[in-house]
Structure 1
């Protein structure tokens, strides 16, 4: 969807001045560690996937999204999913404590605390075969389709409608737009380069690379 989360490369937001990672702490407060841990371990309940989780954060009001810190957005997305999927009630969220016992379908999925670290380190595979033909090869000139989805997408807004060149092919992976709707399908994934002049006008000699799924593009 087009929202406050999709700001990369957009005009009017000023230059990016990143702080070197070696100087920036991983967490800026103790509660951020808990927000990360809760989000990752709650996913083990099997009530949503990573793209549904991302979309829950993106669905916030733009003012709220831009006002929140990084982990405040994570926490807001988690709270949204916990209530929507019936894991907790809105009353329990407001009170900060359980009122009714958790459904057995959820407690059966709970991992012991001793297993959590291994679960998080292991993660899960994202590759997924597809029977769809591969439409592009390295060196092909492409154009990103111009679309304004209502749901989740991994196609940044600022490259839509612009031309690029296929630089690499990774294989077939879970297509996030469908995965966010609960439909697990595979699609070919490519790396595409874009000239800065294509995106931001003459005089910009920047080259950027974006990973894009096949259905985002058409061949020139």
Structure 2
């Protein structure tokens, strides 16, 4: 059974309705504040992007289904703050006092925002296992799509692509493995590939069988075809 967030290719969730994009297109006044608070909290260095994705996936299914996009962000942020000991549940319930937080020196100041966002958090790493696949090689994604390190844990292999036959397009280099990083188990970096899957491999009745989906998949998600 897939988890509630893994919606790709699933029936019954209704059409995808794209929303306007851009900084001026937030749907409510609190949306840019939710984005700003999430980025500022992440700059404290108490978690990584994979941990933040895991936190959103771990929301209660009923909450995940009914929350809007930024409600998911705020709910997951509250969980991360408590999980990492950055704040307590009581801290979240009451107004802040004037005492200085131990992490206050790491606060993201306005003048640093542009440079921090431009720099990002690179996930490529030197070294790691030797690449097992090369461009043009046929591979098959593992079935089921599951974290092999933590039962029920985070993975970037979508369920709709598990067990599918694809072709390696290119090697991206060696990158942090989300399945490990999301659970605080270290980078466990390994080769990352762009893999092309025909639509006919992913869906029983694709609208356009000649279409293809290109996924970035880690080496441990794949096996020789």
Alignment TM-score, normalising by the size of structure 2? 0.87
3-state secondary structure, aligned to 2:3: coil
Asked if structure 2 preserves the Cα contact closer than 8 Å seen for 1:45 and 1:110, the reply is yes
Deviation of 1:73 after TM superposition, in Å, equals 0.5
How has the CA–CA distance of structure 1 residues 98 and 20 changed in structure 2, closer, same or farther, with 3 Å as cutoff?
closer
Asked if structure 2 preserves the Cα contact closer than 8 Å seen for 1:141 and 1:163, the reply is yes
Asked if structure 2 preserves the Cα contact closer than 8 Å seen for 1:170 and 1:189, the reply is yes
Q: Take 2:114 and 2:128, find their aligned partners in 1: how far apart are those partners?
A: 36
Q: Take 1:193 and 1:29, find their aligned partners in 2: how far apart are those partners?
A: 38
Q: Take 1:60 and 1:90, find their aligned partners in 2: how far apart are those partners?
A: 16
Q: Take 2:118 and 2:128, find their aligned partners in 1: how far apart are those partners?
A: 31
Deviation of 1:15 after TM superposition, in Å, equals 4.0
List runs of 5+ in structure 1 lacking aligned partners: none
Deviation of 1:135 after TM superposition, in Å, equals 0.6
> Can you list the C-alpha shifts for 1:18-65, whole angstroms capped at 9, x where unaligned?
35648x953111211111111111111111111001101110111111
Corresponding position of 2:180: 178
List runs of 5+ in structure 2 lacking aligned partners: none
Q: Take 2:24 and 2:111, find their aligned partners in 1: how far apart are those partners?
A: 26
Residues 191-210 of structure 1 correspond to what in structure 2 (within 5 A)? 191-202=194-205, 204=207, 205=209, 206-210=211-215
Q: Take 2:204 and 2:46, find their aligned partners in 1: how far apart are those partners?
A: 44
Q: Take 1:19 and 1:27, find their aligned partners in 2: how far apart are those partners?
A: 9
Corresponding position of 2:96: 98
Q: Take 1:73 and 1:209, find their aligned partners in 2: how far apart are those partners?
A: 27
Deviation of 1:66 after TM superposition, in Å, equals 1.3
Q: Take 2:100 and 2:224, find their aligned partners in 1: how far apart are those partners?
A: 51
3-state secondary structure, aligned to 2:106: coil
Give the paired residue count.
217
Q: Report which stretch shifted further, 56-65 or 84-93.
A: 84-93
